[in-house]
Structure 1
Amino acid sequence: MSLILHLQEQLSELARHNSFPTNVVVAYSAGIDSHVLLHGLWQLRKQQPETFTLSAIYIDHGLSPKAKDWHQHCAVVCDALNIQFQGAKVTVDVDKGKGLEAQARDARYAKLIELAPTDSIVMLAQHQDDQLETVLLQLKRGAGPKGLSGMVRFSTHPKSLDNPQQVHFFRPLLDISQARIQAYADEHKLHWQEDDSNLNTDFERNFIRHKINPLLQKRWPQIAQSVSRSAQLCAQQQMLLEEATLDKLQPLRRQRHGLCISGLLKLSEPWRAQVVRLWLSEQGILSPSQAVLAQVSPELLEASEDANPIIRWQNWQLRRFDNVLYVLGLTDELSPCQLLLSVTKPLELPLFLGRFVLAAEVTLERDEQFLLVNNIHQNPVSIAFGGYARRFTPAGTAHSKPLKQWFKLWRIPPWERGTIGMICQHDEVIGLLIKGQLHLAKSTVDAQIYVSDEQVTRHYLCYQSSSCPANI
């Protein structure tokens, strides 16, 4: 079967199983694989001009001095084929514990999702030999069935966490060998760009490509096809496993994406780990290593009720509170501090928690909150973080307790307590700022209701969230 017929068959299969988008976008790198994919789809569009639109996107990772030349090459090729083209640059910032290849891949896919039209399908040019490399890399890393499934043929991603519109990814060449791609390029006299970094065997994938695969294929010429079949079987088994895992996960769900700890402990250890993996995957979080997962039960799930254990990996952490397991991003911690308010300028709170303004008169904007304070010149007002042993009497109650006890009673998780601001005047806590909401003390409300002395100097203490414009 010719490569063109193969592409036509792949698109037909895609249309049978998914609603086929009419906007097709090729992730074009200027290399031979994506050039052949682009050219093949261009041939199909000529045969069936009303079937789909065709465009291409080039991503510059900023890692090669030749990137501008590659960008120009892509633009010239697309212009000659009358294909809409756009290029974009991304910044690869290598985080601790994550390599250059992984960072570049993540940045590339994020930019493709951003630039591709809504409900378009992005065609990726990975082929059968790439799949072999991927499976060998996963085997080397000790992966399970999910990792050994290799690259998936079809996947769907939202445009953003807040945007439900979707972009689809499809790899139509996973059954095509590098040799067939080379033959197509030679037949059509295509010209492409070579990336010198592909020869650098310091990269794991290049080492497998240039040192390992030639030996394997010399000994077993059909190994790429065989491994591709194994990957498909692993993918099928993983699909069945995820269906069964989802059945166990559903009754464990709690608010704020948490999981019921007592329910998790009723599962066997293998099922427990599988449920946690699927739960993390649903939230777009890369599962921790097997060694980290092995710590979850003894160190976190089985910890005492009053314990506050933390399991960290990469930029994430697992925490527990009130019989619920949570996954949280690692964030900057706020050190204990006390910030004095002034009538001359607003007080910007740390960690983008918003700001306070003291004013004699105020026109309140929507979503602003305020309280009245008296005699601020004799008794200055401050916002304090930390030191939650102070006592507090909330409005509507007659009882005073240390704030720590109120936090426990209000079921505020430990990781949220450090960002609670105490509004203090003359060593008294007259209000709290909790997750963008003001909570007043009983004495503050009583003073606002009953004090009518015209000689008392009052000021408005206004709170604005970080997204609220300043219009005082």
Structure 2
Amino acid sequence: MSLLLHLQQQLSTLSRYHSSPSRIVVAYSAGIDSHVLLHALWQLRERHEFELSAIYIHHGLSVNASIWQQHCADVCAALGVDFQTAKVTVDLSIGKGLEAQARQVRYAKLVELAPQNSVVMLAQHQDDQLETVLLQLKRGAGPKGLSGMAEYFSRTKPINSYQQVHFFRPLLDISQAKIHAYAQEHHLRWHEDDSNKNTDFERNFIRHDISPVLMQRWPHFAKSVSRSARLCAQQQSLLDEVTLEKLDNLRIQKHILSVKGLLALSESWRIQVVRMWLDERNIISPSQAILMQLSSELLAAADDANPVIRWQDWQFRRFEDGLYVIPLAQEITPDVRPLALSLPVGLPNMLGVLSLCSHKASSKQRNVLPVDNIEQYPVSVEFGGFSRRFTPHDAHHSKPLKQWFKYWRIPPWERSSIAIICQQTSVIGLLIKGTFHPSKTVSVEHTKKCDEPVLSYYIQYQSNPE
């Protein structure tokens, strides 16, 4: 079957995943694979009634990157295809490999740029799938890893969480030999990435030193591996259906799982459910060893314990019957920061900014904490010191803050980030997740709206200062 006929069939297959897209975007790199995909789709665009565009991601990792960018622009101009380009930065200081980090920032930018109701086409082919499966075997992967690259997957846009970008790999059953034949038939020109010959990269080592030997011995080896990957993907899909049912039964809240429910599962199912839970939030799962630690060191810990399991930028925490996964954050140490007029105070860990304002400084402020007599009784924002007593506006008596936090069921790791607003030695309010909770001594009505404040001053919170 010709590459063009195969691609035509794949466009029809796409309807299994996605209603006919009004726009197809090619992730264009100036290499032969994406150039062939772009050209073939260009030939089919009118028959299948879709708009075609291309995006080039400039990683800045090669001195030739700008040359490749211009080549992509020229090809798209000649075809009459809309073209877009964007630069990204690959930060190697975070400890990930160059290939993995470049791939991560590339996909993130594609998700950001892809228009609504579009499908991003990726040009990976059968030989790429072979390399992927061999790499997964080398890493000791299970069925999910041995499924290789998925034919179709989705990512959520970072700004509009309800909008998704869909990716499709229509050439996974096409060999690179067919891609080269198509390029020669249509007299296409392309650029080779100079890093593709560097066998220090694992994928290049397999491509140049391993795959040719396997293909010489077994000419249909790539096709067989592709079929095995597809079978593994089918089995994984069935497993995911059952796992999702178990996961849904364990949800206390959207991102919190029941500890008792997890402990009722077998070790294998427990690990499977947690992996899916992490995958839902695009969190890279920890190693099998860490996931096995989860049962013995965290889930089975005493009720009054505060265990932590960390990996990369994440941590598992437990509170009451809830299992949480949260980002690692710098510990907030006890601190006192005075509040003065016209001198905003930045809160630690990028929690926002507090400002002490007069009623003349701004009007119609919401979510504020009124204060008075600041000349006689200075105001400060403090962290730590949970033994101090506090009387919430809707309570009849005071208790130490730590008892209120326990009563309000605030997890221990969130308590250090609560800003305590003090006037002299009295706690007049708390800032919890961006919302003020005034004491009984503060007029509650004025915390909701200050169109015409009765009191002279108020504290204002700003979450994202410019």
Scaled by the length of structure 2, the TM-score of the pair is: 0.93
- Tell me, yes or no, if the aligned pair for 2:54 and 2:83 is still in contact at 8 Å: yes
| Distance change in 2, residues 1:197/1:467 (3 Å) | closer
Cα distance between partner residues in 1 of 2:184 and 2:433 = 62
Contact 2:343–2:355 (Cα < 8 Å) also in 1:
no
How far apart are 1:347 and its partner, in Å? 3.0
Cα displacement (A) at 1:95? 4.8
2:90 aligned counterpart, secondary structure = coil
- Mapped to 2, the partners of 1:325 and 1:411 lie a distance apart of 14
SS of the aligned residue for 1:384 comes to: strand
Bigger shift: 283-292 or 365-374? 365-374
Show the counterpart of 1:462: 459
Cα 1:165–1:398 change in 2 (3 A) is closer
2-structure distance, mates of 1:61, 1:272:
39
Q: Distance in 1 between matches of 2:372 and 2:318?
A: 38
Offset, 1:342: 1.5
| Structure 1 residue runs without a partner (length 5+) | 449-456
Query: Counterpart of 1:357?
Result: 356
Map 1:313-392; keep pairs closer than 5 Å: 313-350=311-348, 351-359=350-358, 361=360, 363-374=362-373, 376-392=374-390
Q: Residue 344 and residue 177 in structure 1: after superposition, are their counterparts in 2 closer, same or farther (change >3 A)? A: closer
Partners of 2:121 and 2:169 within 8 A in 1: yes
Give the secondary structure class of the aligned counterpart of 1:19. Answer: coil
2:429 to 419, 428, 431: 431
1:32-73 superposed Cα distances (whole Å, 9 cap, x missing partner): 111111111122236x2x611111111111100000110111
Greater mean alpha carbon deviation, residues 76-85 or residues 260-269:
76-85
Distance change (3 Å), C-alpha of 1:22 and 1:431: closer
Q: Give the CA deviation at 1:334.
A: 2.1
1:368–1:462 CA contact under 8 A, matched in 2: no
State whether residues 127 and 222 of structure 2, in contact with CA within 8 Å, keep that contact through their aligned partners in structure 1: yes
Map of 2:59 onto structure 1: 61
1:396-453 per-residue CA deviation (whole Å, 9 max, x = no partner) reads 334332211211111011121111111222222222222222222334459x9xxxxx
Residue 463 of structure 2 aligns to a residue whose secondary structure is coil
**2:149 aligned partner:** 151
Correspondence list, 1:229-244, <5 A: 229-244=227-242
Does the Cα contact within 8 Å between 1:97 and 1:314 map onto a contact in 2? no
The one-character-per-residue Cα deviations of 1:267-318 (angstroms, maximum 9, x if unpaired) are: 0110001010111111111111111111100111011111111111111111
Q: Which amino acid aligns with 2:252?
A: R
Across the two proteins, how many residue pairs are aligned to each other? 457
Distance 1:395 1:250 in 2: 37
Note closer, same or farther for the CA distance 1:419–1:7 as it changes in structure 2 (3 Å cut). Answer: same
Matched residue of 1:121: which SS? strand
Shift of residue 22, structure 1, vs aligned partner: 2.1
Distance 1:420 1:242 in 2: 39
Matched to 1:264, the amino acid is: L
SS at match of 2:325: strand
Distance 1:251 1:76 in 2: 54
Q: Indicate which of 80, 83, 105 corresponds to 2:81.
A: 83
Unpaired stretches in structure 2, ≥5 consecutive residues: 447-453
Contact 2:17 2:152 in 1 (8 A): no
The structure 2 residue matched to 1:138, chosen from 120, 136, 139, is 136
Greater mean alpha carbon deviation, residues 90-99 or residues 263-272? 90-99
Within-5 A mapping of 1:173-184: 173-184=171-182
Alignment of 1:412-451 (within 5 A): 412-444=410-442
3-state SS, counterpart of residue 354 of structure 1: strand
SS in 2 for 1:202: coil
Secondary structure, in 3 states, of the residue corresponding to 1:160? coil
**196-205 or 342-351: which moved more?**
342-351
Distance 1:419 1:412 in 2: 11
Given residue 24 of structure 1, which amino acid in structure 2 is its aligned partner? I
Contact 1:34-1:124 within 8 A present in 2 as well: yes
CA distance in 1, matches of 2:221, 2:392: 71
Root mean square deviation of aligned Cα: 2.1
CA distance in structure 2 between the partners assigned to 1:37 and 1:360 by the alignment? 62
DSSP-derived class of the 2:163 partner: strand
Counterpart residue type for residue 45 of structure 1:
R
Matched residue, 2:28:
28
Indicate conservation of the 8 Å contact 1:368/1:465, yes or no: no
Opposite residue 171 of structure 2, the aligned amino acid is: L
Choose 218-227 or 86-95, whichever is displaced more: 86-95
Q: Which residue of 2 aligns with 1:296?
A: 294
Q: Relative to structure 2, which stretch is displaced further, 118-127 or 154-163? A: 154-163
Partner of 1:12: 12
Q: How far apart, in 1, do the equivalents of 2:34 and 2:241 lie?
A: 34
From 98, 119, 124, give the equivalent of 2:122.
124
**1:12 maps to amino acid:** S
Post-superposition shift, 1:358?
4.0
Distance 2:133 2:168 in 1: 18
Return the TM-score normalized by structure 1. Answer: 0.92
Deviation at 1:467, TM superposition (A): 4.5
Letter in 1 for 2:190: W
Alignment check: 8 A CA contact 1:362 1:460 kept: no
- Shift of the 434–17 alpha-carbon distance from structure 1 to 2, 3 Å rule, reads closer
Q: Percent identity?
A: 62
Q: How much has 1:198 moved relative to structure 2?
A: 0.3
C-alpha contact (below 8 Å) 2:389/2:401 kept by paired residues? yes
Letter of the 2:36 partner, please give it. Answer: V
2: CA distance, partners of 1:227 / 1:239: 18
Structure 2 counterpart of 1:7, one-letter code: L
Q: Contact conserved, 2:298 with 2:318, CA < 8 A, in 1?
A: yes
Contact 1:34 1:125 in 2 (8 A): yes
State the alpha-carbon separation in 1 of the partners of residues 404 and 257 from structure 2.
Answer: 24
Aligned equivalents of 2:379, 2:353: Cα separation in 1: 17
Which residue type is aligned with residue 371 of structure 1?
P
1:209-260 deviation line (CA, Å, top 9, x unaligned): 1111111111111110111011001000000001011111111101251001
Separation (CA, whole Å) in 1 of partners of 2:358 and 2:119: 54
Higher mean C-alpha deviation, range 294-303 or range 459-468? 459-468
The answer to which of 279-288 and 422-431 deviates more is 422-431
Equivalents in 2 of 1:42, 1:343: separation in Å?
Answer: 62
Asked if the contact 1:26–1:123 (Cα under 8 Å) also holds between the matched residues in 2, the reply is yes
1:143-195 deviations in whole A, cap 9, x for unaligned? 11111100111122233353422322111110011111111112222111011
CA distance in 1, matches of 2:198, 2:183: 24
